[in-house]
């Protein structure tokens, strides 16, 4: 599958969310960071804002729930219009049941791992998912430095995905920029969340296409599935 860029609106101007969403309409997804001030020490937005954003843009929404009790809330984000819903495994009471419910409601089901959470205990869950998110910063804030120490986890996750022959997407989020995206792509990531690297740029749409170009350069020809190109 092709490499995908998902700009994070956490770094956008919240007083102009509709315009900021339109500014990145060449992106594959709009990454929406939902934080509850419990699972992470920050508070952002909820279901009504996601519903409104969905009316303001044609870009599908990739909702990253950094909240407690995602088992209760995630289905509501599907109903609000999210095309992909990511819950944290550290917060979910029943991750398999939740992934199945998200899929049954018509969205892509995705599970996130904080930096200190290993992938290996979740190998058997991978077929239940459409995407796995490896956090490359501690969740909670935009603009943090990329954690290089996550690169081996990205590689090991890619190996597990390929070992099982899954179509699962591998997303990275946190500190992804022109300086770090190539390393993420080489390690096996294929969906890249970028907040400050996109919304901190003079031209967000141009930043999206530059990031896409760098990821493609790191993995092979444009449009070529990353693992085929690199033999992962």
Residue positions annotated with a catalytic role: 33, 173
Strands 4-7 and 84-88: unpaired
User: Alpha-carbon distance 177 to 184, whole Å?
Assistant: 10
Structure tokens at 77: 């984000």
Give the nearer residue to ligand 5RP in terms of CB position, either 88 or 227: 88
**In this chain, which of 45, 53, 64, 89 binds ligand 5RP, going by CB under 6 A?**
64
| Residue nearest ligand 5RP, CB atom distance | 195
| Contact letters for ligand 5RP, residues 23-52 (x by CB under 6 A) | --------x-x-------------------
User: Alpha-carbon distance 153 to 67, whole Å?
Assistant: 23
User: Alpha-carbon distance 74 to 76, whole Å?
Assistant: 5
Structure tokens at 51: 């519903």
| Contact letters for ligand 5RP, residues 192-211 (x by CB under 6 A) | -xxxxx--------------
Our CA dihedral for 99, 157, 210, 148, rounded to 10 degrees, sits at 120
Contact stretch for ligand 5RP (CB under 6 A) within 22-30, 50-58, 113-121, 169-177: 169-177
User: Alpha-carbon distance 71 to 55, whole Å?
Assistant: 25
Beta strands in 82-226 (DSSP E): 84-88, 108-113, 131-135, 169-173, 191-194
131 binds ligand 5RP (CB under 6 A): no
User: Alpha-carbon distance 74 to 89, whole Å?
Assistant: 13
144 binds ligand 5RP (CB under 6 A): yes
Question: Smallest gap, in angstroms, from Cβ of residue 17 to ligand 5RP?
Answer: 15
Report the binding-site residues for substrate.
8, 64, 140-143, 173-175, 195-196
**In this chain, which of 3, 5, 10, 172 binds ligand 5RP, going by CB under 6 A?**
10
| Side-chain-side CA neighbours of residue 117 (13 Å) | 20
88 binds ligand 5RP (CB under 6 A): no
Interface ranges with ligand 5RP (CB under 6 A): 8, 10-11, 31, 33, 64, 66, 137, 139-144, 173-176, 193-197
């Amino acid at each position: 599958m092709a490499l995908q860029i998902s700009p994070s609106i956490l770094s956008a101007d919240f007083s102009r969310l509709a315009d900021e969403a339109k500014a990145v309409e060449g992106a594959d997804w709009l990454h929406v960071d939902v934080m509850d001030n419990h699972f992470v020490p920050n508070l952002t937005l909820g279901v009504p804002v996601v519903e409104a954003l969905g009316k303001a843009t044609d870009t599908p929404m990739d909702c990253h729930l950094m909240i407690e009790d995602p088992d209760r809330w995630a289905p509501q984000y599907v109903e609000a219009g999210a095309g992909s819903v990511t819950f944290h495994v550290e917060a979910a009471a029943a991750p398999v049941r939740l992934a199945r419910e998200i899929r049954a409601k018509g969205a892509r089901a995705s599970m996130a791992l904080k930096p200190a959470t290993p992938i290996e205990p979740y190998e058997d869950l991978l077929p239940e998912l459409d995407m796995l998110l490896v956090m490359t910063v501690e969740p909670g804030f935009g603009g943090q430095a990329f954690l290089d120490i996550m690169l081996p986890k990205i590689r090991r996750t890619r190996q597990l995905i390929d070992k099982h022959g899954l179509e699962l997407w591998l997303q990275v989020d946190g500190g992804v920029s022109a300086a770090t995206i190539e390393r993420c792509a080489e390690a096996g990531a294929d969906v890249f969340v970028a907040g400050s690297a996109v919304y901190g740029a003079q031209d967000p749409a141009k930043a999206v296409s530059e990031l896409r170009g760098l990821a493609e350069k790191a993995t092979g020809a444009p449009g070529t599935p990353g693992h085929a190109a690199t033999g992962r």
